[in-house]
Amino acid sequence: MKSNVKPVKPGKLPGCLVWGMTLFSLSMTAHAWAPNAKDRAAAINAGDFTAYNGQLAAWLKQQVPADPAQITKEKMLTLLKDPVFVAALAERQFIGKVWDQPDLGGYAKADPKNKAFLTWVMSNGKIMDEVLLTRTPTENAGRYDNSWSINAIVLDNWKQICEAYPEAREGVYLRLAIATVLRPPGTGNVGVGMAKVQSTPLARFGNYLKAHKNHELMPSFDSLTAWEMTHVVSSGASDADLAWAREALNSWNPGFRKNENIVGMASQMQYQGSQIPYNNMSCVFSGGGKCGPRSSFGVFINQAFGIPATGVAQPAHAAVAFRDKDGNWQVALGKSWGVSKLADRAMMSGGEFLERVKERKTNAFANVEHLRWLASALTDKAQIKAVMDSMPAVADASKDAIAPFQPSPAVAAADKPVVKPAPPAKLAPGVMHFEAGEYVSMGGISGYGPGVAAEDSFTGGKQIHFGAMSQAAWVGYKVKVPKTGVYELTATLAAMNWGQRLYARSFGAMYPVKAAMASDVYRQQEALGPKMAIDQDLGTRWAMNLGKEQGWIELDLGEPKEISKMIIDERSWERVSRYRVEYKAGDEWKVLFEGTDIGECKKEFPPVTTQNVRLSLLDGKSPTGGPTIWDISVGKVFDGTGWLEAEAAPDRSGCWNATKPLDIYMVEGTQMLWLCAPPQRGLSMKSFELKPKSAKP
């Protein structure tokens, strides 16, 4: 490991050591005094640490060989393994580092509760050590300078957290509290969509405590050190946005939780100049953005789930760095660490950052800092130099040992939501409720987008996710309709971008078709033949060969019937630029209507009686040709069709929201209701409902 310890020139000491040399040295025999609760309590009660601090310095000096030649690597390592010695080091460093109005003594005098809080903190060397090591700068320059400090406001914020949340005094919540007061909200890198008024440490702690207890954070959160947690809680986003992010991802696509791939959600942002203001993080995702907004969102979405993250500056670019579930820091949405600098850490190079992270995982970091604290407690220049000179050897000897107080790695935990039943729906009389997982048909065209999948829902049961930019994806449900008529269809959807929707289609009102024939079939495959466009199944289609732009499909109703309605579904693959629909009257074909684009065509025309209807494709708009028609239906009453709009308030995008009602005609008996997704940015469905409205079509 590359040493981060700079040599001390003879006759010159770091500025941080000067204050230690000015402390008076008590004249006492070896081991005449040792750190004890009685003297500590007296100092706290008096609000005066001068004498107690001098006793600590004298005691620490007694542990160090008077002869500088005896200050060896072996001697220092022996001292650093003594918990009493390390606790005394931490206590003296703690007293010296707390400053401002008031200083530690003034803070103790200000309130009896402050005294009780200090007694708890200063009686536990491990807690003080964790605080001090967490606060120690990451970059070498800041560590060597050692001029950093801890504002007394930190103690007050910490006390507030412990008073409000007793569980903050131990374990993961103790580390969370330490991190939150040392790097409060807004002290990390700040980008677009961040809060204009920052949260308080108390509110930020409560936000993550609640999320942790609700099992919303990633499993690796339990294995984070307090220092790693500072890269979580320092987010400049609002607490409301952090809560929104967890609800949105858990609703919209919990698959990102697998392998803790939370940063993958940032890659779903559209790379574009946003057309909407960045008022919050929901707007950032919905509006999209280029490298800056994507980096800001990438940092934010990781932090929302308890994953340490920070912005990364690269040449003419911004990226995101995050800690993966194995404890290694990665770069996403950009190039490698070799061209990266940490945006919020004095532009530290990526290489140095990785070295310092590696060091913090071992005893090397703590041991070097403990020796630095020890040097500041000494008054003899020769002793000080010997201690400082021992640092490289001590660091090298400690680099393979696990750091003190390093939490155990996270135990194996589910990467996906715990499977549990969906909560029962409360329904009004006559309303039919369907869970998304109750489908009977599902599919998408292989090779044309991610299609559709059923996933375990974070809120229980299953949900359906239509993948981003899927060209053709569908899901079908069998519905037992009690009475023919119009029903209000509503669905519970989650969409990250505004304007997303699902196409709904029922069958049963229009005529069944006896047979169909066509001018051309893709590679003569029966599964893509003309009968697939008349089978009342939106998962099947008629397709022509590539290179073909003209062709026709003819329907045979079996007997003459009056028709005045027609639906043609070209869905997604809109390759037809001009078409004509005709009906057969005797031996003559007559035109019913013509058009330029099909898409989802729903046409009404004056009634005619016929047995045969023909759709002619006259021209195409795809360079490859090869039109596809999913369905053709004719009759006197339209089947139920329409669009379910996944609209939501700006701060609710991605979360479960009920759509506005869509009137859809259903026929008595068992029939299929189909839901299809056009190419868009991914959409999830939790459930849908049908409510009787009218008997009229």
Between 468 and 125, residue with greater pLDDT: 125
Q: Can you give the CATH number for the domain in which 676 is found?
A: 2.60.120.260
With respect to residue 184, please indicate whether it lies within any of the assigned structural domains: no
Cα distance between residue 613 and residue 421, in whole Å: 48
Mean pLDDT along residues 396-424: 70
* Per-residue pLDDT tens over the stretch 441-489: 999 887 776 789 999 998 889 999 998 877 789 999 999 999 999 999 9
468 or 437, which is more confident?
Answer: 437
Residue 175 resides in a domain: no
Residue 366 has pLDDT above 50, yes or no: yes
Name the more confident of 390 and 697. Answer: 390
Distances (CA, A) of 175 to 87, 161, 228, 344: 18, 12, 9, 21
Is 82 inside a domain boundary?
Answer: yes
Total domains in the fold of the chain: 4
Q: What pLDDT is attached to residue 107?
A: 93
Can you tell me which residue has the tokens 């604290």? 373
For residue 27, pLDDT over 50 is answered with no
Note down the domain range covering 674. 425-509+638-697
* Judgement on whether residues 562 and 615 belong to the same structural domain of the protein: yes
Q: Same domain for 216 and 343? A: yes
Q: Which of 17-26, 313-322, 397-406, 507-516 shows the lowest mean pLDDT across its residues?
A: 17-26
Q: Which two tokens stand for residue 278?
A: 């960045």
Q: Among 139-148, 579-588, 652-661, 675-684, name the most confident range.
A: 579-588
pLDDT computed for residue 198 by the predictor: 95
User: According to the model, what pLDDT value does residue 652 have?
Assistant: 84
- The pLDDT assigned to 428 comes to 85
Partners of 443 in the β-ladder = 474
> Is the per-residue pLDDT at 413 higher than 80?
no
The answer as to whether 417 is a domain residue is no
14 band by pLDDT with thresholds 50, 70 and 90: very low
- Answer whether residue 25 shows pLDDT above 70: no
Beta-strand (E) ranges in 256-328?
309-314, 317-323
Contact 445, 637 (CB under 8 A): no
Q: State residue 271's pLDDT score.
A: 85
Asked if the structure places residue 358 within a domain, the reply is no
Does the pLDDT at position 417 exceed 60?
no
630 and 648: one domain? no
Identify the burial level of 592 via C-beta atoms within 10 angstroms of its C-beta, where 0-12 means exposed, 13-18 middle and 19 or more buried.
buried
Report phi then psi at 274, rounded to 5: -70, 140
Other Cβ atoms within 10 Å of 73 Cβ, number: 17
Note whether residue 174 is domain-resident. Answer: no
Q: Which of 270, 171, 281 is nearest to 221 (CA)?
A: 171
Inside any domain, residue 449: yes
Burial of 101 (0-12, 13-18, 19+ CB in 10 A): exposed
> Do 84 and 134 share a domain, yes or no?
yes
pLDDT over threshold 70, residue 29: no
pLDDT of 362 strictly over 50: yes
**Where residue 331 sits, what CATH number does that domain have?**
3.10.620
Categorize the per-residue pLDDT at 419 as very low, low, confident or very high, splitting at 50, 70 and 90: low
CB 520 within 8 A of CB 535: no
pLDDT band at 145 (very low <50, low <70, confident <90, very high): confident
DSSP string over 418-433 = PP-PPPPP---TT-EE
**Per-residue pLDDT band at 6 (split at 50, 70, 90):** very low
Do 455 and 516 share a domain, yes or no? Answer: no
Q: Is residue 243 part of a domain?
A: yes
Contact 439, 428 (CB under 8 A): no
Of 352-366, 559-573, 644-658, least confident by mean pLDDT is: 644-658
User: For 194-198, 413-417, 453-457, which range has the lowest pLDDT when averaged over its residues?
Assistant: 413-417
Are 219 and 342 found together in one domain? yes
What number of H helices and E strands is found in the chain?
20, 26
pLDDT digits (tens, 9 = 90+) for 276-304: 889 899 889 888 889 999 999 999 999 99
Same domain membership, residue 441 and residue 334: no
In whole angstroms, give the CA distance from residue 432 to residue 434.
Answer: 7
Do 534 and 648 lie in one domain? The reply is no
Res 20 pLDDT > 70? no
Band of pLDDT at residue 346, cut at 50, 70 and 90: low
pLDDT at 418 over 60: no
Indicate whether 668 and 592 sit together in one domain: no
Whether residue 9 is found in the same domain as residue 150: yes
Task: Evaluate the omega torsion of the peptide bond into residue 421 and state whether it is cis, within 30 degrees of 0.
Answer: no
Q: Which two tokens stand for residue 299?
A: 């940092």
Residue of 369, 344, 236, 230 lying closest to 300 (CA atoms): 236
pLDDT in tens, 50-101: 999 999 999 999 999 999 999 999 999 999 999 999 999 999 999 999 987 6
Residues 613 and 645 grouped into a single domain = no
| pLDDT tens-digit map of 574-618 | 889 999 999 999 999 999 999 999 988 999 999 999 999 999 999
Q: What phi, psi does 316 have (nearest 5°)?
A: 55, 30
pLDDT tens-digit map of 524-538:
999 999 999 999 999
Kindly state whether residues 534 and 461 are assigned to the same domain: no
